[in-house]
Structure 1
Amino acid sequence: MESYALLLGSTLSAGTVLALAALGLLINEKAGIVNLGAEGMMLCAAIAGFAATVHSGSTLVGFGAGMLAGALLAGIFGVLVIWLNTNQYATGLALSLFGAGFSAFVGLGYVQAKLPELPKFAIPGLADLPVVGPALFTLHPLVYGSIALAAVMVWFLYRTRAGLVLRAVGESPSSAHALGYPVRRIRLMAVMFGGAMCGLAGAYISVVYTPLWVENMVSGRGWIALAL
């Protein structure tokens, strides 16, 4: 039973990465923008978060640096797509390729760098329960935060005026513009929020989930990857 508990806990930890990025990209798509550069943003955020944590000794600083890196790259993507009318798919793929190359280059200086030891998280009382305790109540707080954020996101999109405006901007931008809403600015904010969430996911990978930056070789091409 202990092995099942560990499997469930590992699944939730790994799924947090996908959940955070998916929630950000959901806001992007509700605003009418498709960003295929999520992988590139996550890679740049991963090295930004890792480097910030190494130098500051704080995981919160690392998360902040990752979110900032993701939002910055998403902002550049948003300006190109929303104001300069570049192709969303081509621009997103270019961002993904840029992120892979940039993170590999910057990461060379952090190969085998060590992060400060993370504190052990456990919910008092619940963590001692058999089977479900180790599986559900000893995870990083960001795992629980991602679950709560998913619920908040559903409430925001379908129960608030701001969520209605966001969906209107994505589904009928001309009508939203006619009603006086700044469609471009709303889309840019949505894109940057999505980038920040992808950045948080990337920082979570490098700081919490696999806190080690190593050089890996795949198909003869050198790149920096996170060791599982």
Structure 2
Amino acid sequence: MSTVTEQPAPESGGLAPDAAVTPTRGAGKKLPVALGVLAVALALVLLRSSHAGDTTFQLASDTDFVTLPDIVVPSMVTAWVMVVICLALTAEAVRRTVARLRQPTWVPIVFAIAWMVGFLSWAAADGRIRVVSLLGGAVALAIPLVFGGLGGVLGERAGVVNIAIEGQLLLGAFAAAITASLTGSPWAGLVAAALAGALVALVLGLFAITYFVDQVIVGVVLNVLVVGLTNFLFRQVLTPNAESLNSPDRFSRVPVPVLGDIPLVGPIFFRQTALVYVLYLVVVVVTYALYRTRWGLRVRAVGEHPKAADTVGIKVNRTRYRTILLAGAIAGMGGAYFSLVSVAGFNREMTNGAGYIALAAVIFGKWDPIRATLAALLFGFASNLQGVLSAIGSPVPSQFMLMLPYLVTIFAVAGLVGRSRPPAADGVAYKSQ
């Protein structure tokens, strides 16, 4: 066992030195189209609805150690300048596609920043955008998406499609609310959420790994089962005993000394609840373990070529069981956000499809923990943006704002991810010889 030294293919993740910075060729043809559509859409919005005035971007909060000045810009002029930049980046993407060159990562990143600055300049005319609140809220709203995305990455790296992330989040939220209410400790609730997520993963493994049932079907059925079970228990158990069983203490904000006082960065990343700091740790540990440990090599081996892994002595199904149990526990921890951070208590179907957005983050992130985390942060930003624009009285229709997180999800997966290759044995049951 100690002699296993296989190196993963570059597509499989972090050991390839340029895997994190070099996009695939499959994204080359889609990227110019996606950027062009967005640039033209922003231009049409500006032509149809012009707003005179200035937009203020507030970069600091009142408690910052060093106060950064507000940035005040003319709304329409700034928006049109950003449109020009977006069109120039689109032209660069077209040039690279025609020349059959790889699309660099900086093109969509700079485009996204320019497009968002232009959109916010127009949407918040004669208003104020609190950048700290916008980005800090995005980090908070991304908590369950990141936890769920990490669970999805681990499961699929081991060859098990984890469609049941939604159920793991929901049961985790349910268990966290009850346990924290009974014990008076949100930390106990977090542990219970992890156990609840692992329980859902155990059922998934029983049917998908042991009995070779289609993994997607099992995951969908588990999601429906957990929704029905938690709705029934909420009505029959929690509602009549809300004071004792559904009144948990919430995680409070814990500013990190010194780091929390750094202008702009501190309030966004280091004035969060304890659950966010746990999330930072989990992201680092999962990434390191997956790419820099023998365990991670074995997990990726059973997800890419289980027969070869079996040949060198790796217990394929045992490895898959252990990995999905860990993945379920991590996803379940994300469920604690809903009942211990967002609100104090459990409510029916309160995850509201977050598990499916986490699955999109897994695909958008190409089955990599860091990329999936960044994708989840993008979706969290889209979710928080709807609240911020509604609060300042933006002219953007409320119906569109409600659709925004899901539109971003669809666009990201269909428009920017390009051609992505999941682990070769993802979703394929393995029968040991």
Per the TM superposition, whether the score is higher than 0.5 is yes
Any conservation in 2 of the 1:107–1:224 contact (CA below 8 Å)? no
Q: How does 1:104-119 map to 2 (within 5 A)?
A: 104-108=231-235, 109-111=237-239, 113-116=246-249, 118-119=251-252
- Comparing 140-149 and 193-202, the one that deviates more: 140-149
The residue number in structure 1 matching 2:173 is: 46
Contact kept in structure 2, 1:47 and 1:106, CA below 8 Å: no
Residue 350 of structure 2 is aligned to residue 225 of structure 1: yes
Structure 1 position 131, deviation (Å): 4.2
Partner SS for 1:180: coil
Write the letter of the residue equivalent to 2:350. Answer: A
Distance 1:166 1:132, change over 3 A: closer
Report what 2:212 is aligned to.
Answer: 85
Q: CA deviation at 1:47?
A: 0.6
1:34 to 153, 161, 164: 161
Matches within 5 A, 1:194-205: 194-205=327-338
Higher helix share: 1
Residue in 2 aligned with 1:163?
Answer: 296
Partner of residue 121, structure 1: 254
Q: Structure 1, unaligned stretches of length 5 or more?
A: 215-222
Aligned to 2:73: none
Determine which of 315, 322, 325 is the counterpart of 1:189.
322
Q: What is the distance in 1 between the residues matched to 2:343 and 2:234?
A: 15
Q: 1:145 aligns with which of 278, 297, 314?
A: 278
Residue of 301, 309, 314 corresponding to 1:176: 309
Partner of 2:80: none
Distance 1:48 1:190, change over 3 A: same
Deviations 1:57-109 (A, max 9, x none): 10111011111111011111101111111110110100010111111112223
Query: Is the CA contact 2:250–2:343 (under 8 Å) kept in the aligned structure 1?
Result: no
Correspondence for 1:212 among 342, 345, 365: 345
In the alignment, the residues of structure 2 paired with residue 146 and residue 79 of structure 1 have an alpha-carbon distance, to the nearest angstrom, of 28
Larger Rg: 1 or 2? 2
Name the count of aligned residue pairs: 220
User: Which has the higher mean CA deviation after the structures are superposed, 133-142 or 66-75?
Assistant: 133-142
**2:428 corresponding residue in structure 1:** none
Residue 41 of structure 1 deviates from its aligned partner by 1.6
Per the normalisation by structure 1, the TM-score is: 0.88
Separation of aligned partners in 2, 1:176 and 1:67: 29
Asked if the contact 2:339–2:346 (Cα under 8 Å) also holds between the matched residues in 1, the reply is: yes
- Taking structure 1 as reference, are residues 159 and 213 closer, same or farther at Cα in structure 2, changes over 3 Å only? closer
Of 70, 76, 81, the residue aligned with 2:203 is: 76
Structure 1 distance, partners of 2:263, 2:311, is: 59
2:331 alignment partner AA:
C
Point out which structure has higher relative CO (alpha carbons under 8 A, 6+ apart).
Answer: 1
Residues 189 and 117 of structure 1: CA distance in aligned 2, closer, same or farther (over 3 Å)? closer
Q: Percent identity?
A: 32
Alignment CA distance shift 1:160-1:118 (3 Å) = closer
Matched, 1:25 2:152: yes
Aligned partners of 2:186 and 2:248 also within 8 Å:
no
- Counterpart secondary structure, 1:212: coil
Which amino acid in 2 is paired with 1:198?
Answer: A
Hey, what's the Cα distance between the residues in 1 that align with 2:315 and 2:291? 20
